[in-house]
Amino acid sequence: MKKIYSLFLCVILILLILQCNKEESKKGIVVAEVNNEKLYEYEFRSLFTEEEWLKATPEEKNQIINDWIEITLLAQEAEKLGLDKIPEVKFNIKYAERTLLANEILAKKLKDIFVSRDEVLDYYNLHRNDFLKDRTLYKIQQFIVPTWALADSAIKLFNEGEAFYTVAKNIGSNYLVRTISKNEVTSPFWDFVSGMNKWHIRIIDDEAKLKIVQLLDIQEESSPVPFQEISDSLLIELLEIKRGEFLANALDSLEINYKVKIY
């Protein structure tokens, strides 16, 4: 009878060992271990986002493993000293767990919130006055001459009192009057005009053309920043607004469904 009982115990022991090995194999590859506390590959990967995992170098991954080892060593020593039994420490551990859970459910709920390009454009149009930016405009008249000799002749005629339009018609081409902003002309041309005083006439070599330019007026105005310049930042801003609204509504709903008391 004792022999049969011993054999039965051996069979139970073998089955338990096989079960433990089976459970162990389900957890996958062990990447580090501290006093029988194991870090499995799936746990290790959970410390990264998918994008971070793909971009991380072997050195960066090894550093995370070393961090886990150091933290685990310190935590085990703290448990050995009984620090995990201190009420304040127990509360902080529980609070950290709840914070992690709260962040997980937030990430799961908020990832489905989407902002379309049309929503961003509507938001921009609705708040257009919030995106005003001061800018300077220059009203100029100009014409083109083919050579520096003719450019110098034009300046001489102006000094003698000849009208700008008359000189342009007689020795130049492409006469026009226009109001320019900074993004409508080349940087050298803008810097050139910005350095002029009202009514002054100067010559500039711009885009392989000799231009005779007179500054007629300087205008200051406020206008909305072009949508293309701020659309990306507005998308992020609107996404944060929608997430904030969703979170506020979700918390209000939870406070109704759960008992919440502040003493």
Residue-level pLDDT at 261: 81
CA distances from 68 to 91, 92, 170, 181 (A): 22, 20, 83, 57
Pairing of strands 201-206, 132-145: unpaired
Same domain, 213 and 149: yes
Please compute the mean of the pLDDT values over residues 108-128 and round it to a whole number: 89
> How far is 37 from 32, CA to CA, in rounded Å?
8
Same domain, 68 and 144: no
Q: How many other β-carbons are positioned within 10 Å of the β-carbon of residue 107?
A: 9
What DSSP character marks residue 63? H
**Residue % of the chain over a pLDDT of 70:** 90
Residue 210 lies in a domain: yes
Residue 181 lies in a domain: yes
Domain that holds residue 33: 28-81
Residue 121 lies in a domain: no
Please compute the mean of the pLDDT values over residues 237-255 and round it to a whole number: 89
* Count of domains for the chain: 2
Residue 68 lies in a domain: yes
**pTM of the predicted structure, to 2 decimals:** 0.50
**Residue 212 burial (10 A CB sphere; 0-12, 13-18, 19+):** buried
Residue 138 lies in a domain: yes
Q: Is pLDDT of 108 > 80?
A: yes
Of 62, 81, 100, the domain-final residue: 81
